[in-house]
């Protein structure tokens, strides 16, 4: 049926209809899409879709269509079900664009001098003040890093902090981990040696997104924290060596973590892009990088790009150095912020950091909730 059955502002076709929107545009909508997105298709309490388009015996087709200038009304053949669509709602979906996401915020890159300006939030404030919680989440989304101050020296303080923006997520190291000297270490973090710049747990299929490190004690000589905005470094590589940048975005490389109790392996891209083509983060860890298994001729091109990026990460322009103090919890995007630690003198005191992770999706979810924006919001 390609000819019009009804007068304007609606014209029916075989698989969809044209309707004149409230802004004067003529837009086409598919019948399957219209029936699937009837307001009655969603449970009002759970907000989940309850209409099962797979159960329809025939493809959706209108028996009657009306447009009153504010809404489109469709009565569906067979079932007789009547659907109503506000023209303003149809206009918002007419251009086939992803639904507006308030959690897509511009990232603010930072350099080596960022420490004095790093966002800081009091533990008690983010637990009791919605505005402080929102500011903290905003800082993590835009700058990728923040410090929570006044965190009690207790095992409960870390899960209390992490649960404000997500659920603590286990890795093969466990739900929580203690960065201090171990008698039989299975990770360089559990020694007094220097840790090179890295992101955590790249050997998991989906490395955790947000990392929390609660400093319980730090009285040792040395052991400074080193942090780099990997997105800023990747942006510099894109500007100066676009071919290298593209290689690191397109190529997966293997990572592993092997010990007596586990053998984890995964492939990651060194530079990550989001759906908008912006740099969303990096994955780098020389002590967990497996043997690169690419064609040797390809490695003639890849290794120079890889090494150029690694050296740029170590450039003093980008490297932020500071001492993490007892009572502070540094929280950062593990897919964006590259971190390291200077060596320390084990006999000079005690250094104990307790850590855990949550996921970036939960961080974005919290921002959407705090922003009051969503499909079912008024």
pLDDT of 376 reads: 53
2 domain residue, yes or no: no
The answer to whether residue 218 sits within a structural domain is yes
| Residue 378 covered by a domain | no
Beta 225-229 vs 320-322: how paired, if at all? Answer: antiparallel
Report the C-alpha gap between 159 and 227 in whole angstroms: 23
54 lies in the same domain as 130: no
Residues 153 and 262 in one domain: yes
Sorted by sequence, the CB contacts under 8 Å of residue 304 that are 6+ apart come out as 244
Could you read off the pLDDT of 53-103 as tens digits, one per residue?
999 999 999 999 999 989 999 999 999 999 999 999 999 999 988 888 999
Domain match, 152 and 62 both: no
Q: pLDDT of the chain along its 378 residues, tens only? A: 333 344 468 999 999 999 999 888 999 999 999 999 999 999 999 999 999 999 999 999 999 999 998 999 999 999 999 999 999 999 999 998 888 899 999 999 999 999 999 999 999 999 999 999 999 999 999 999 999 999 999 999 999 999 999 999 999 889 999 987 754 555 666 676 778 999 999 999 999 999 999 999 998 888 899 999 999 999 999 999 999 999 999 999 999 999 888 899 999 999 999 999 999 999 999 999 999 999 999 999 999 999 999 999 999 999 999 999 999 999 999 999 999 998 888 888 889 999 999 999 999 999 999 998 765 553
- Say how far apart CA 217 and CA 108 lie, in whole Å: 31
Residues 69, 204 share a domain: no
Can you give the CATH number for the domain in which 336 is found?
Answer: 3.60.130.10
C-alpha 68: how far from chain center: 42
Total domain count for the chain? 2
How confident is the model at residue 9, as a pLDDT? 82
pTM of the predicted model, to two decimals? Answer: 0.89
Alpha-carbon distance of 29 to 18, in angstroms, equals 7
Establish if 3 belongs to a structural domain: no
**Domain shared by 154 and 57, yes or no:** no
184 and 329, same structural domain?
yes
Residues 155 and 246 in one domain: yes
pLDDT of residue 185: 55
**Is residue 97 in some structural domain?**
no
**pLDDT value, residue 8:** 61
Residue 106 located in a structural domain = no
pLDDT of residue 7: 43
Q: Are 34 and 60 in contact (CB under 8 A)?
A: yes
Contact status, residue 249 vs residue 269, Cβ threshold 8 Å: yes
Residue 5 lies in a domain: no
**Token digits for 221?**
């000589």
Q: Could you tell me if 292 and 217 lie in one domain?
A: yes
Backbone φ and ψ of 202, nearest 5°: -70, -10
Q: What is the DSSP letter of 155?
A: T
129: tokens are: 């003040």
Q: Which of 325, 321, 328 is nearest to 218 (CA)?
A: 325
Which domain covers residue 294, as residue numbers?
Answer: 112-371
Residues 263 and 312 in one domain: yes
> Cis omega before residue 319 (within 30°)?
no
pLDDT in tens, 146-162: 999 999 999 999 999 99
What pLDDT score was predicted for residue 2?
35
Is there a contact between 234 and 271 (Cβ–Cβ < 8 Å)?
Answer: yes
CA distances from 140 to 120, 286, 346, 359, 367 (A): 11, 25, 32, 12, 10
**What does each C-alpha distance from 63 to 5, 71, 79, 221 come to in angstroms?**
10, 17, 10, 80
Residues 85 and 129 in one domain: no
Q: Six-digit token pair at 150?
A: 């006044």
In a domain, 99, yes or no: no
- Count CB-CB contacts under 10 A for residue 108: 14
Residues 179 and 87 in one domain: no
Same domain, yes or no, for 85 and 139?
no
Task: Indicate which CATH number applies to the domain containing 32.
Answer: 3.30.2020.30
């Amino acid at each position: 049926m390609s000819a019009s059955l009804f007068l304007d502002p609606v014209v029916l076709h075989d698989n969809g209809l044209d309707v004149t929107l409230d802004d004067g545009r003529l837009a086409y909508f598919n019948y399957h899409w219209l029936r699937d997105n009837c307001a009655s298709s969603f449970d009002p309490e759970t907000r989940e879709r309850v209409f099962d388009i797979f159960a329809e015996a025939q493809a959706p087709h209108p028996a009657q269509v009306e447009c009153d200038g504010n809404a489109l009304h469709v009565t569906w053949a067979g079932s007789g079900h009547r659907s109503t669509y506000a023209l303003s709602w149809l206009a918002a979906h007419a251009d086939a664009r992803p639904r507006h996401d308030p959690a897509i915020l511009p990232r603010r890159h930072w350099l080596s001098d960022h420490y004095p300006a790093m966002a800081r939030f009091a533990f008690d404030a983010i637990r009791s003040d919605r505005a402080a919680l929102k500011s903290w989440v905003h800082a993590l989304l835009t700058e990728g890093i923040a410090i929570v101050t006044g965190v009690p020296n207790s095992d409960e303080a870390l899960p209390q902090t992490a649960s404000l923006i997500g659920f603590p997520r286990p890795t093969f190291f466990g739900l929580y981990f203690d960065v201090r000297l171990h008698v039989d270490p299975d990770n360089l973090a559990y020694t007094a040696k220097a840790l090179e710049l890295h992101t955590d747990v790249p050997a998991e299929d989906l490395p955790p997104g947000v990392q929390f490190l609660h400093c319980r004690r730090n009285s040792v000589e040395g052991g400074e924290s080193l942090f780099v905005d990997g997105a800023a470094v990747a942006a510099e590589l894109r500007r100066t060596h676009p071919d290298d940048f593209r290689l690191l975005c397109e190529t997966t490389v293997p990572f592993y973590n092997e010990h007596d109790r586990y053998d984890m392996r995964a492939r990651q891209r060194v530079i990550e892009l989001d759906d908008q083509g912006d740099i969303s983060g990096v994955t780098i860890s020389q002590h967990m990088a497996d043997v690169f298994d690419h064609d040797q001729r390809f490695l003639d091109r890849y290794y120079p790009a890889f090494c150029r990026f690694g050296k740029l990460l170590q450039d003093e322009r980008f490297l932020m150095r500071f001492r993490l103090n007892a009572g502070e919890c540094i929280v950062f995007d593990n897919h964006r912020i590259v971190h390291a630690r200077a060596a320390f003198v084990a006999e000079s005191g005690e250094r104990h950091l307790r850590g855990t992770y949550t996921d970036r999706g939960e961080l974005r979810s919290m921002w959407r909730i705090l922003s009051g924006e969503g499909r079912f919001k008024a």
